[in-house]
Amino acid sequence: MTEMSNSIVTALGAGSGIDMAALAGNLAKVQFEDRINKLSAKNEALDTKISTASSIKSQISQLASALGERVRNGDLAPTPAISNPSVATVSRAAATRPAGSYTLEVTTLASAQTLTGPAFAAATSTVGSGTLTLRLGSINGGTFTADGAREPVQITIAPGATLAQAAAAINSSGAGVSAYVANSADGARLVLKGPEGANNAFVLEASETAGNPGLAALAWEPGTGDPARVLASAGDAEFKLDGVAMKSASNAVGEAAPGLSLTLKATNAGSPATITFTDAKAAVTSVMQDLTAALNEIASALNAATDPTSGELARDDGARQLRRQLSSLGSTVIMPNAANGAPATLAELGLSIARDGSFSLNTATLTAAMTRDPEGVSAMFTSGLYGVYASVDKISRNASTAGNPGSLAGSLSRYAGQKSQISKENAKIADQQEALRARLAKQLSAADMQIGSSKSTMSFLQQQIDMWKKGGD
């Protein structure tokens, strides 16, 4: 097989002395070279467009992400601080904006009823069988009043159930009362604990299965039950905010005043703590300066990319749309829900845009706005539906929407499709070039064989002539 291959290769071009295989390949390559070069140039141009569009899209996405993180950090709005942190944890309520200062005096913390059972030998001791019933309500003066809005919860205790299994049954009942077994000095005791708040007191009733007594020992209610079994009573938190008496069923009070959320931790009767709010002016000024610098970086990249003569994205719809959105960012109303007279545009915070698309910040205008309406300015820096972050994030999301042909992501999708088409065309050309090469090789091989045959005939005739000449001599 090797000898045959060598003979074929040798025969191809043997007659003329020309490498017909190489000639066939070169002729086929020249035939398609112009089309291949054009497709290569087009592919390189698409790579440049994709790189530039991806870079700009990434810039606006990073800006939105960084701005969102800064807004969520919470330093762009007045933040509460308390003079005695051991009394309460203070935080800013999301719904409203805080203002002013407050005094806080906590006289009583909210508490949960804690009830113990009688002592058993161990957690594995059986408790009898039947039904335990938990009722929630309030206890006043030794009298229990059930909460009519909450149905009693019945808990089945199977025969042979242990103290630990009884606690598990209570926990899985969904009554809102937790249970566990405590190993006390005199034995294992069932401990039940309800939610905080005066209206979350509870009684435990027992109905025993005939012939399997013992469950009644766990029952308890005021008046007839052993008061020593009540380790803590259910009660509300009582406190004064600016001298105004308030109550809460939980120590996690929530929004006690506009923009102020409280979680009580200790009492301080007679020694009120002071709650104030930090000034956010410096933080807002800083973020506006950072925003202006970041927008200028994006604007500079857009200007270069959309330059009519040298820009890679000069005719790109996505780049043009992004440039239009940024150019109107200062005048766009980003707070349609702003109160009358409150700032509603970035221009009112000092952001201006030049004809070339560059941004600048007038800090005097920003300072005046914060002095005039600090709450209104802070309201523009939230993670809600409106505001600075929401507006920048909307621009970023629009640029990243691949289904929108007028976005940068839409342009990237279109360019990727064009590159895919170029790959298909290159594959098709490769097939056509190979087919032409094979056809030319076959034709040139045949021609070369004819040339070789003619050269053999000429050589024979030359030999005969030479012999004739010698014979004549």
Question: Which pLDDT tens digit goes with each residue over 152-163?
Answer: 999 999 999 999
Question: Which pLDDT tens digit goes with each residue over 373-409?
Answer: 888 898 898 888 899 999 999 999 999 998 888 899 9
> Which token pair is 184?
């006390």
Query: Quick check: helix, strand or coil at residue 12?
Result: coil
**What residues have CB less than 8 Å from 41, skipping those under 6 apart?**
none
Question: Of 129, 179, 132, which Cα lies nearest the Cα of 153?
Answer: 132
**What residues have CB less than 8 Å from 33, skipping those under 6 apart?**
none
Whether 3 shows a pLDDT value over 50: the answer reads no
Question: Of 67, 55, 152, which Cα lies nearest the Cα of 391?
Answer: 67
Query: Quick check: helix, strand or coil at residue 357?
Result: coil
pLDDT reported for residue 99: 67
Assess contact for 341 and 395: CB atoms under 8 A.
no
pLDDT reported for residue 11: 42
Whether 10 shows a pLDDT value over 50: the answer reads no
Strands of 109-196, DSSP E: 112-116, 130-140, 143-146, 153-157, 178-184, 187-196
The rounded percent of the chain whose pLDDT value lies above 90 is 68
Question: Of 220, 246, 234, which Cα lies nearest the Cα of 140?
Answer: 234
What is the rounded distance in angstroms from the CA atom of residue 272 to the CA atom of residue 239? 10
∠ CA 391-397-399, nearest 5°, is 105
Rg (CA), the chain: 44
- DSSP 8-state code for residue 228: G
What is the rounded distance in angstroms from the CA atom of residue 325 to the CA atom of residue 346? 13
- DSSP 8-state code for residue 66: H
What is the rounded distance in angstroms from the CA atom of residue 334 to the CA atom of residue 349? 12
Which phi and psi (to 5°) does residue 64 adopt? -60, -40
pLDDT reported for residue 369: 94
pLDDT reported for residue 437: 81
Which pLDDT band, with edges at 50, 70 and 90, does 451 fall under? low
∠ CA 12-16-17, nearest 5°, is 80
Query: Quick check: helix, strand or coil at residue 226?
Result: coil
Question: Which pLDDT tens digit goes with each residue over 263-301?
Answer: 999 999 999 999 998 878 888 999 999 999 999 999 999
What is the torsion angle, in degrees rounded to the nearest 10, for the CA atoms of residue 138, residue 141, residue 143 and residue 145? -30
**What residues have CB less than 8 Å from 469, skipping those under 6 apart?**
none
Instruction: Name the one residue in this structure whose structure tokens are 């005066």.
Output: 198
> Which token pair is 455?
């050269």
pLDDT reported for residue 465: 63
User: Mean pLDDT, to the nearest integer, of 323-349?
Assistant: 93
pTM for the predicted model, two decimal places: 0.60
∠ CA 349-352-355, nearest 5°, is 170
Whether 12 shows a pLDDT value over 50: the answer reads no
User: Mean pLDDT, to the nearest integer, of 444-454?
Assistant: 67
- 74 or 81: whose pLDDT is higher? 81
**What residues have CB less than 8 Å from 436, skipping those under 6 apart?**
27, 28, 31, 32
Question: Of 36, 7, 5, which Cα lies nearest the Cα of 422?
Answer: 36
**What residues have CB less than 8 Å from 193, skipping those under 6 apart?**
112, 113, 114, 115, 177, 178, 179
Domains of the chain: 46-74+280-412 (no CATH), 80-109+237-277 (no CATH), 112-232 (2.60.40)
